[in-house]
Amino acid sequence: MQALEFQTYVTNGMIKIPFDYSAYNNKKVKIIMMLPEEKGNYDKQKLLFAFKYAQNLNVFSEIENSTEWQKQLRNEWE
């Protein structure tokens, strides 16, 4: 199978094939669509600040054994 690559838009469910590929008109083809990754809707600096702030709160500082703490919290193993 021969692979050809080009970029285009899907408009009303249709993909326009560039004129350069008109030799493939009325031929059966296999289409693989690769979509660009969407960026998250978050502010990276605000997120880093929030993590640093949470780290400084020391909310888990009294936990001596994290495994035992998780077992008690989940109450699954005993």
pLDDT digits (tens, 9 = 90+) for 35-73: 888 777 788 899 999 999 988 888 888 888 988 888 888
> 78 pLDDT exceeds 80?
no
Determine, yes or no, domain membership for 16.
no
Domain that holds residue 50: 44-74
What's the number of domains the chain is made of? Answer: 1
The model's pTM: 0.43
H-helix or E-strand containing 44? helix 44-57
Dump strand ranges (E) for the chain: 10-11, 14-15
